[in-house]
Amino acid sequence: MSNLPLVIDPKQLEHILNSENIILVDMCKPDQYSKGHIAGAVYLDYPMIISGEKPVMGRLPDIEKLNQAMSSIGLTSDTHVIAYDDEGGGKAARLVWTLHSLGHDKASILDGGLVSWANEGHPLTSEPTVATATNFQAEISEKYLAHRQYILDHLDDDKVALLDARSIQEFTGEKAFAARGGHIPGAIRYEWTDMMDKEHNMRLLADDIIQAHLNELGLTADKEVICYCHTHHRSALSYLVLRKLGYQNVKGYPSSWSDWGNQTDTPVEN
């Protein structure tokens, strides 16, 4: 199953649910999993793949915690993970980005997540699935990571673009969830929900539509694109979509604005 796409349609998932070497991972809230989830899905609580203390949240955990989380869902080097949530794909995409950061490329999200699955007539169950734990061991790669210093070092680099996935109010500083509001100098706003078809069960828009938007904004495929939001939750979906479109050089900024906006020496624009 190593040839599965980054984004999987519900009908496609229905045909491969019982295939070998697939782990279906539910990243909804615990009460939603108890009430109804896709049969065979194991539950992974989102806090298992993030770390940090207020005000700086959304960091990448240390490797011991990450290996423990991946072992708990039964991950092996041969396993293809298909993740879903019920909020448009942010949590599921953060898991995929995390797996990529561990050198595990066999990962996908379900297009539209639980919303599309349920609304399009596919069955749900309340019967939990207990994973057989493994001893997954990996190391963190910097290939898909952009930390604060890396961004500071590339602020004037024309080959590097910053994609801000937050709302317009956060971008302008009208709403501030950190000590300072605003955005990283030069960042281009492309809100994560603008990639979704809100009238079609939170599925992603067609590739050509999203690519046209990106091109208009100057977020072209010849650049290295660094995606951020407040904690690299929403922007994880931006990362995944750009990878789906064939962008070769995409990074995520873990802890994002909760890190940048709570420093005293980082430049800010409004």
The Cβ of residue 128 has, within 10 Å, a number of other Cβ atoms equal to: 12
CA–CA distance, 258 with 180 (Å, rounded to integer): 9
C-alpha distances in angstroms, 31 versus 26, 28, 37, 72, 175? Answer: 12, 8, 10, 19, 30
CA dihedral 267, 237, 255, 158 (to 10 degrees): -30
149-175: b (≥16 Cβ within 10 Å) or e: eebeebeeeeebbbbbbbbeebbbeee
Selected catalytic residue, list 229, 237, 240, 242: 229
CA–CA distance, 8 with 257 (Å, rounded to integer): 30
Give the closest residue to 132 by CA, choosing from 185, 71, 91, 77: 71
Does residue 229 have an active-site annotation?
Answer: yes
The residue to which tokens 């065979």 are assigned? 40
202: which 2 tokens? 């939170």
Known catalytic residues are 229
